[in-house]
Amino acid sequence: MRIFRRAISDTVVLMALPESDFDPTEVSVPWSVLTAAGYEVKFATPSGKRGHADPRVLTGKGFGPFKPFLAAREEGRELYGRLEKDPAFGSPISYEQIAPDAFDGLILPGGHAPGMKPYLESPELQKRVAHFFEADKPAGAICHGVLIPARVVSPKTGRSVLYGRKTTALLKSMELSGWAITAAWLGNYIRTYPTPVEDEVRSVLKSRDDFIRGPMSLRRDSASRPERGFAVVDGNYVSARWPGDANRFAREFLRVLDNAGGKGSPRTGTAMTSPG
């Protein structure tokens, strides 16, 4: 069995993925930010096969007049093209092969198409995610990726590992509006589950007010304008809502990772918001 183990001097982040249909921006932007900062990123998929992004989001085909709102932007497509050449991306390990002690941090990207379900519902992955949260290692989740820690039950408390934490996730308004404008020809392609992501996440929190919606804006951030995005930082946990927050999410996760590595003290309960 092939199990990745790190050298003592390395700092390695694990990014878990499905084998198909993940959002290319939510994967490639954090990968780019972390590797540019000198961190190593390794990947895991359900069976260890190479993952592939949602082709519709990559190309915009099938979105009709809503392509500008629903498809990946040029930055995400370009970075995903670079990511595909990364040997680590091409040779992931399986969820069963994840040795959590070998990694210093965890990122859980999102996506909404049917291929996401083996990732969002995997008991094997949830067991490993529980270890990261129980060990208080840096962990980040964006969009549908927040469903994974929401569904992970702490062996210590019997509650979700997000209970008592502040978080965000894909907003109900975003999810249902995207579904409404495409359902006539795409069916439930955008609506992964009958229960919206926001509703499921809120249901496991200590207080419904622990879910932070952020500014109501459809502006996307970019490498040059990360302040346009939104992310919530609570201790060593970072969350964001959609691909339009990917740069802000990646920068905040990097800061948490740096702090956990001895370059500072992690901040607690801080909602990082766009100035508008």
Rounded mean pLDDT, 246-265: 83
Residue 115 or residue 5, greater confidence: 115
**What pTM was computed for the model?**
0.92
Helix (H, G, I), strand (E, B) or coil at 221: coil
What 118-122 contacts at long range (C-beta under 8 Å, 24+ apart), as own/partner pairs, is 118/18, 118/19, 118/46, 119/16, 119/17, 119/18, 119/22, 119/45, 119/46, 119/148, 120/18, 120/144, 120/147, 120/148, 120/151, 120/192, 121/151, 122/46, 122/95
Tell me, what's the pLDDT at 219?
A: 87
Are 26 and 111 in contact by the 8 Å Cβ rule? The answer is: yes
Tell me, what's the pLDDT at 261?
A: 78
Structure tokens, 217: 């804006």
**In the 8-state DSSP scheme, what is residue 42?**
E
Reply yes or no on whether the pLDDT at 160 is more than 80.
yes
Q: For 79-135, how does the pLDDT look when each residue is reduced to its tens digit (9 = 90+)?
A: 999 999 999 999 999 999 999 999 999 999 999 999 999 999 999 999 999 999 999
